[in-house]
Chain A
Amino acid sequence: KQEVTQIPAALSVPEGENLVLNCSFTDSAIYNLQWFRQDPGKGLTSLLLIQSSQREQTSGRLNASLDKSSGRSTLYIAASQPGDSATYLCATRGAGGTSYGKLTFGQGTILTVHP
């Protein structure tokens, strides 16, 4: 059974700092890995989707990497802003025949960027 772990559970940084959020998973047989952002009381917004054959994806100040063999992904946020404050979740999609695209989520990292 896939297990996804995110470290740290919470992170507080000053505005402007570059930061890295970590995600690890136990089963490397994945189709893809997706990073989400969740604001308090809101749904999940997809940030980046990395296919299993890819090493990284970039969108604006965000860069996500994937190392399937070691079961790790990182989300790099450059020049953080107070508006980046949210919970960040990673989720893997299993490659098993009966997975039907089910995602396994980590518990998230709560990010606070203070001015």
Chain B
Amino acid sequence: NAGVTQTPKFRVLKTGQSMTLLCAQDMNHEYMYWYRQDPGMGLRLIHYSVGEGTTAKGEVPDGYNVSRLKKQNFLLGLESAAPSQTSVYFCASRYYPEGAGELFFGEGSRLTVL
């Protein structure tokens, strides 16, 4: 089982460039999340989705957009990258809508904005 797969794993951007991170899960999970992890800040939720065709804002959504056109994929977009978006991005997914439900994480995507 592949679990949660993120692409690309590394990327360097110049300020103002755009890019999309792809998260794919093969576990038929309803819920998907994008987090960013920064030193001293821990993991913070950017956006999440509770099912195909739905998205919602997390704690730090500014500067990012997301789409969930297919249940298995959750895309995170940066329209105009800024140095403050240099971070490690993690995608996660979960099956159960309420109550029990482990969160499964991808390996991370390290993004550097120059």
Q: Counting CB contacts under 8 A, is A8 at the interface?
A: no
Inter-chain contacts of B92 with A (CB < 8 A): 44
A50-95 residues at the B interface, CB under 8 angstroms:
51, 89, 91
CB-based contact B102/A46 at 8 Å: yes
CB-based contact A44/B99 at 8 Å: no
Min CB distance B33 to A, Å, is 7
C-alpha spacing A102/B99, complex, angstroms: 12
CB-based contact A101/B31 at 8 Å: yes
Q: Inter-chain contact count A-B, CB under 8 Å?
A: 61
Q: Counting CB contacts under 8 A, is A28 at the interface?
A: no
Query: Known: A43-B105, A46-B103. Is A101-B40 also a contact (CB below 8 A)?
Result: no
Query: Known: A42-B108, A43-B108, A102-B45. Is A107-B99 also a contact (CB below 8 A)?
Result: no
Inter-chain contacts of B101 with A (CB < 8 A): 32, 101
C-alpha spacing A100/B99, complex, angstroms: 10
C-alpha spacing A31/B40, complex, angstroms: 26
Spell out B's residues near A (CB within 8 Å). 4, 31, 33, 40-43, 45, 48, 50, 56, 58, 90, 92, 94, 97-108
A sample of 11 inter-chain contacts (CB < 8 A) reads: A32-B99, A32-B100, A41-B108, A42-B107, A44-B92, A46-B105, A49-B100, A100-B56, A105-B43, A106-B42, A107-B41
